[in-house]
Structure 1
């Protein structure tokens, strides 16, 4: 439905459209006329939503900070899952993973060749030499914060340490390349380029996603791209940057026994870091990390 100049703005500010988002929408329309893929209003958060997502992101970061000292040799991933669920509820949050499309636990913990969606278990004991990703999403007051971190257990090989480090660099370079009125291709290009230059590959089938009002929203975020291509980033968009970087080839497969666990096809290690970010008027803001 077309909004009149003197109608209330779609963003919920209560202001007239002409004094609020009309020039913003006209700028997006100009990019669309020039052939760019542009976001619709459903991908652009209102100030009220942004504040809610920001608070959820803070809670999610608190959960990852809390669990960090417990991630060590001899601890089971099942125990980490219990600690995360208990702490999340203690601070007023809800573990978003629990029950999501049938997922049985409160967090995803992925070790070595597991790319993502590793299911915690009391039988899975952390051992020296492993690398693992703890991927946590928290619902707080109806909003979502999502992030993941890598951990090295005990004495880890230099090869694995480098993979973890370079993957973090990929995320930070991607963040730096994410700019208002830039494109997803700008971000994906620098992310993939850094991985390839270090002899690694970025998983193609799985990417980031819009996040905040729902767990998974549009747009799907590709960490491989070409400059000035892909969807336009505009202020108010919230989404995750979370490249999955493989030591070997990018190919992956899903474990049919549990329907969740994604592994590298060649059995080589994979690493992932994840931020939820907000595109602002002059750059980006990390909402959870």
Structure 2
């Protein structure tokens, strides 16, 4: 069931979104060569708690961190580790959420570490633009399929592949709610978008091939091709005046 939010609930989600966005920004400010992903996770955790919120991911389904931190060919769900050291030229995807007043925000960004390859920069540019196109399609009266179609067609036109095994989702009192928001689809299909809906649009894009696999830790998901992967995400609200991004710093 899709839960529509009241005006008051949307204000609470704005606060959750603000904290989530700021936690992501703070993470990015500390991503440098020589820093471990565990150190980044601690920074994210401390920021969220310092804002009076709860890290949405910590303990979710047994996940051991406050942020998912995935490097290079890791698509999503990278477990923060003291032994995983960020290197020059890496691309680092950070996915983080915060819960306050009973509502969640959820967002992700892939950060370049110093000078990165032309291929990596193009992947980041395409993935980020596909998110913006997905948001642009998220207007009241459209359908979920219109969002996925906008993302997929742009990514594939640029010779890359959207991950189909994992999708975006509704967000609210639960971190994951209905409806699913795939990064692929046919226009005019799926649930209709109406004011009061709050969803996470999150393109996960591989430089080569859509297939992914989960490592032995049961979390970290990598590209089967070994190619780079990028991940960008906003939590947005559907309103009568167009989509509103709730996770902007």
C-alpha separation between the residues in 1 aligned to 2:41 and 2:194? 36
C-alpha separation between the residues in 2 aligned to 1:66 and 1:223? 27
Kindly indicate whether residue 203 of structure 2 is the aligned counterpart of residue 226 of structure 1.
no
| Other-structure match for 1:63 | 23
| Other-structure match for 1:116 | 76
Q: Report the aligned-residue RMSD.
A: 1.0
| Other-structure match for 2:217 | 258
C-alpha separation between the residues in 1 aligned to 2:67 and 2:115? 25
| Other-structure match for 1:4 | none
Write the deviation string for residues 123-153 of structure 1: whole angstroms up to 9, x where unpaired: 1110011111110100112110100111011
Number of residue pairs the alignment of both structures matches:
248
What displacement does 1:43 show? 2.3
| Residue from 95, 113, 119 that aligns with 2:55 | 95
| Other-structure match for 2:242 | 283
Unpaired runs of at least 5, structure 2: none
Write the deviation string for residues 206-233 of structure 1: whole angstroms up to 9, x where unpaired: 0101012111101011111111111111
Larger Rg: 1
C-alpha separation between the residues in 2 aligned to 1:211 and 1:181? 19
Unpaired runs of at least 5, structure 1: 1-39
Kindly indicate whether residue 150 of structure 2 is the aligned counterpart of residue 190 of structure 1.
yes
1:237-248 superposed matches below 5 A: 237-248=197-208
Q: TM-score, normalization: structure 1?
A: 0.84
C-alpha separation between the residues in 2 aligned to 1:238 and 1:69? 28
1:140-155 superposed matches below 5 A: 140-155=100-115
Q: Name which structure has the greater RCO, CA cutoff 8 Å, separation 6+.
A: 2
Corresponding residue SS for 1:288: coil
| Residue from 259, 268, 275 that aligns with 2:227 | 268
Q: TM-score, normalization: structure 2?
A: 0.97
What displacement does 1:57 show? 0.5
What displacement does 1:74 show? 1.1
Corresponding residue SS for 2:246: strand
C-alpha separation between the residues in 2 aligned to 1:196 and 1:279? 26
Corresponding residue SS for 1:43: coil
C-alpha separation between the residues in 1 aligned to 2:39 and 2:86? 11
